[in-house]
Amino acid sequence: MNAQVLVNTFVDPCTKKVTVFIVPIQGSTIITFMGKAKSFTSADASNGNLMSWVNQVYMEYSAPCPISQVATQVTTTTVASTVASTISNVVSSAAAPPPAPAPSSESSSSSESSSSSSSSKSESKSESKSDKKENKKDEKKKEKQKAELSPLLFSSDLTSIQQLEAGFNLMANFGVSRASLAGDVSYGTTAMIWSNLQQFALSSRYSINSLKNGKLDGVYTYSLTNAYNKGSFLHIGAFSFVKPIDKNIYGYNLALIGTSIPYMSNKQIFLTSSVTAFIMHIMIINRRFSMIPELYVMSSPYSYSFKSKDFKNNYEFSYIGGNTINYQISKKFAISCNLKYMYGTTQSIGLLIGSRFGF
């Protein structure tokens, strides 16, 4: 005679691994999951107590992938915001027309002789209008100083992102940034809102631009992000470095992620390190149109759980490949389209359509 049992299954949202829990109809059995053990009866399996305990253990003793996914999205958004000005400088310098040739000595001498003869005739007239010219010069000088102030740059985009549950969610980014008059520092803020209204993030950054021989040699960026993810809270402190070499952009991002996962009256706190290396290649088609293939390599090598006092090493890598298409409609307005695919422990795909303008 075969024993009757109740079967419950749990699918890990990170690895998609299926765990099967079998509870006999009669009596009780001890279930062990992620190092925790508890006795359950068939009534517990029927009324949901078993799966509630499984979900609690998972949330308390394993940093779930939704947290990693949000952190990945925040990291790539921060990197994109940091390198945006670098890409703009490379594109504008490469697409700029060559300087006009200097006038020949003969033309300059003839112009000098003609100007000297004409100046002698207009000398008397200019004296009577000198005051007005001085006033006009002062006004032009003030206008020029105003024009030299770095403008505010606004960016906005909408991204469709594949979620761990295999569905898609929309994420809207709204950013504003500004550089100093000398161009040595810049700062900005980016807000991220998901269409499910259960995920939000606010990121601020401060960048130091290293100049060499009047050209951008590297960008050092410090950023702080606070995020909310379906009841969990993330605090991400990061440092990134960007190095432009010809039409290539190299860089890395180092981050420490503090995660607070509330469950009922308890809270589980994780500290997770994140390392990202990236490379981008700028392909300039013409002065308005450019493409930028990109590759990210990401890893979270160390994590610590305060509740379980568990220190973990992770040797797995995630890879993100993508391509951005930029079209400069005017001097102050541009649109872009980006497609990314992430491969690793989790796979996802994202499509971004955005714009950037300044005034």
- Tens-digit pLDDT profile for residues 73-107: 888 887 887 777 677 666 666 555 555 555 554 44
Distance CA(346)–CA(14), nearest Å, equals: 6
Residue 296 pLDDT more than 90? yes
Backbone angles phi, psi at 53, to 5 degrees: -70, -40
* Domain coordinates in residue numbering, the chain: 5-61, 65-94+150-358
Neighbours of 268 (CB within 10 A): 20
Distance CA(225)–CA(185), nearest Å, equals: 19
Tokens of 308: 């379980």
The CA–CA distances, whole Å, from 291 to 63, 77, 327 equal 36, 18, 9
Distance CA(143)–CA(139), nearest Å, equals: 6
- In this prediction, residue 346 carries a pLDDT of 57
Let me know if domain 65-94+150-358 sits in CATH 3.30.379.10: no
- In this prediction, residue 359 carries a pLDDT of 55
- In this prediction, residue 180 carries a pLDDT of 83
pLDDT in tens, 138-160: 665 555 544 455 677 788 888 87
- In this prediction, residue 237 carries a pLDDT of 94
Looking at the chain, which runs of residues are DSSP E strands? 5-11, 18-24, 28-33, 36-41, 153-162, 168-179, 185-194, 199-212, 215-229, 232-245, 248-263, 266-281, 283-284, 289-299, 302-305, 310-313, 318-328, 333-343, 348-358
Band (pLDDT 50/70/90 cuts) for residue 132 is low
- In this prediction, residue 7 carries a pLDDT of 85
For the whole prediction, is pTM greater than 0.85?
no
pLDDT in tens, 205-248: 999 988 888 788 889 999 999 998 877 788 999 999 999 888 89
Of the candidates 2, 42, 35, 1, the one whose C-alpha atom is nearest the C-alpha of residue 21 is 42
Neighbours of 148 (CB within 10 A): 8
pLDDT in tens, 308-334: 677 888 888 888 898 988 888 887 788
Residues 213/119, Cβ–Cβ less than 8 Å:
no
Return the SS3 of 157: strand
